[in-house]
């Protein structure tokens, strides 16, 4: 396996053929990769949380728009039942 990683072979030769050192370096590299994968997973989780929050915001906006439509309908019904309350007519 170490033969497939040329940078480790060069490091081995430089340090006098220390295979143990190369294995330690490989383990350290693997640990760094695992740490980066963990950070990437945490970042992905944050992105998903933000996407969910964005969807909640869209839902809240839609609910507010619906309330505005209901309020407008209520005002129109009130104006129809009480013409003297018509808001668009100047006194």
pLDDT digit string, tens, across residues 18-57: 788 888 899 999 999 999 999 999 999 999 999 999 999 9
Query: What is the span of the domain harbouring residue 10?
Result: 2-85
Overall number of domains in the chain: 1
In a domain, residue 45? The reply is yes
Query: pTM of the entire structure?
Result: 0.52
CB 75 within 8 A of CB 69: no
Is residue 11 over pLDDT 90? no
In a domain, residue 42? The reply is yes
pLDDT, residue 4, reads 56
In a domain, residue 8? The reply is yes
In a domain, residue 90? The reply is no
pLDDT, residue 1, reads 47
- The fraction of the chain above a pLDDT of 90, given in percent, is 57
Which comes out higher in pLDDT, residue 55 or 89?
Answer: 55
User: Which residues, at least 6 apart from 11, have a Cβ–Cβ distance to it below 8 Å?
Assistant: 21, 22, 25
């Amino acid at each position: 396996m170490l033969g497939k990683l040329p940078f480790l072979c060069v490091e081995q030769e430089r340090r006098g053929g220390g295979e143990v050192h190369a294995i330690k370096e490989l383990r350290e590299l693997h640990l760094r990769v695992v740490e980066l994968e963990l950070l990437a997973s945490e970042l992905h989780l944050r992105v998903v949380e933000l996407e969910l929050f964005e969807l909640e915001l869209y839902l809240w906006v839609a609910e507010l728009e619906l309330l505005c439509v209901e309020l407008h309908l209520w005002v129109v019904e009130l104006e129809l039942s009480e013409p003297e309350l018509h808001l668009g007519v100047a006194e």
